[in-house]
Amino acid sequence: MANLGFVGLGAMGSRMVKRLLDAGHNVTGYNRTKSKAQWLLDLGMKWADTPRAAAQAGDLVFSMVTNSEALRAITEGPDGILAGISTGKIYVDMSTVSPAAIRATVKRVEAKGADMLDAPVSGSQITLEEGKLSFMVGGKREVFDRVLPILQAIGPKATHVGANGLAVSMKIATNLSLAVQMLAFSEGVLLAEKSGIARETAVEVLLNSVIASPMVKYRGPFVLKMPGEAWFDVNMMQKDLLLALEMGRHLDVPLPTTAITNQMLTAARGMGFADKDFAVIFEALARMAGIKNGVKE
C-alpha cells in the first residue's frame, strides 16, 4: 500500500485512480472541478484543494493533463505540484506533452531533491477498464524500477525507453499512427460505400481483415455510430499531430501521411466537430465525398 497524490481526474485520470484504489493504495486527488471527482470520493479517495496539497500528501504524485500549457499550470506557482515536492519524492507525469516541457520540468523537480518520470500511456478508456493499458516510461532506470509495481496496478505493461523526454517522444510517434489509420480506414469504407456496398457490410469485412489493428477494432464501429462521449477528441488528437510534425521538422523526418491527416482534422474542426472523438474524421471525409447522411449520434 502506497500513499499517492493524483492531479487531473478527467476521463483517463479518474479511471486510473479507481484502479489504484481497487489495488488498496491511498490516493489523494485534485481536479479543477470537484464535482466530477465525487464518485471517486465515494470510493475512498481523499480530496486535495490544490495540486500542491496532492503532492504533499503522496510519496509519489501522478498527473494526467491535456497539454504542455496545462502541465505548467498544475506545476508552477504557490499552489503547484513543484511547491509540494520535497526530497525523496517521485513525480510521474502521464500527459502527452512536448519533450522540451518534460525536460524543463525535470530540472525543477530535481532541484527540489526529487525525481521525475514521464510515463504516457497507450490505450483508451476501454483498454484501461479492461486492465490492458501500457506505459512507456522515460527517466532514471532505478526510479522506474521503484515505481513499476504501482504502474502495474493501472496497466500490466510498462517499458523503460530511456532518459526523460523519450517516453513522450515515443507516445507522439505512436499517436500519429492512430489518426493516420483512422483516415485510411475511413477512405476504405467510403470507397466501398460509394461503389454500392452497404456501410455496415464494409465495416464488417474490414474489421475481420488483415488491416484490423486493435485501434481499428475499437474505433472502426464509430463510423456507424459515434460514442456519446469522445474517447479522444479532435482537438486532443490534433495537438499530438502538431507535436509530431514539430518533432519531424527538428529531426529531419518527413511525415507526409501525418501532415495530410492533420489537415483532415482541421477540416473536421471547421465543420464543428472539435469536441467529437477523432473518429469523426470519417464524417468530414464523407461530406467531402458528397455523402449527406453521415454518422449516427
User: What averages of pLDDT result for each successive group of 10 residues across the chain (297 residues)?
Assistant: 94 94 96 92 96 96 94 95 96 95 96 97 84 93 97 95 96 95 97 96 97 92 92 94 96 98 98 95 95 67
293 domain residue, yes or no: no
pLDDT value at position 294? 66
Q: Which of 132, 163, 194 is the last residue in one of the domains?
A: 163
Which residue numbers are catalytic?
A: 171
Question: Do residue 51 and residue 108 come from a single domain?
Answer: yes
HSE at residue 224, side-chain half, CA atoms within 13 A, is 13
pLDDT at 176: 95
Listed in sequence order, the DSSP H helices in 23-75 are 38-42, 51-57, 68-75
pLDDT at res. 128 = 87
130 and 188 in a common domain: no
Q: Is 90 within the bounds of a domain? A: yes
Domain boundary among 163, 178, 195: 163
> Could you tell me if 70 and 208 lie in one domain?
no
Residue 44, SS3 per DSSP: coil
Quick one: pLDDT at residue 170? 96
* Number of structural domains in the chain: 2
Cα 1 to the center of its chain, rounded Å: 26
* Residue 103, domain member (yes or no): yes
Among positive and negative, which fits the CA dihedral 246, 247, 253, 259?
negative
In a domain, 294, yes or no: no
Could you tell me the residue range of the domain that residue 90 belongs to? 3-163
Domain end (from 113, 146, 163) = 163
Determine the 3-state secondary structure of 290 from DSSP. Answer: coil
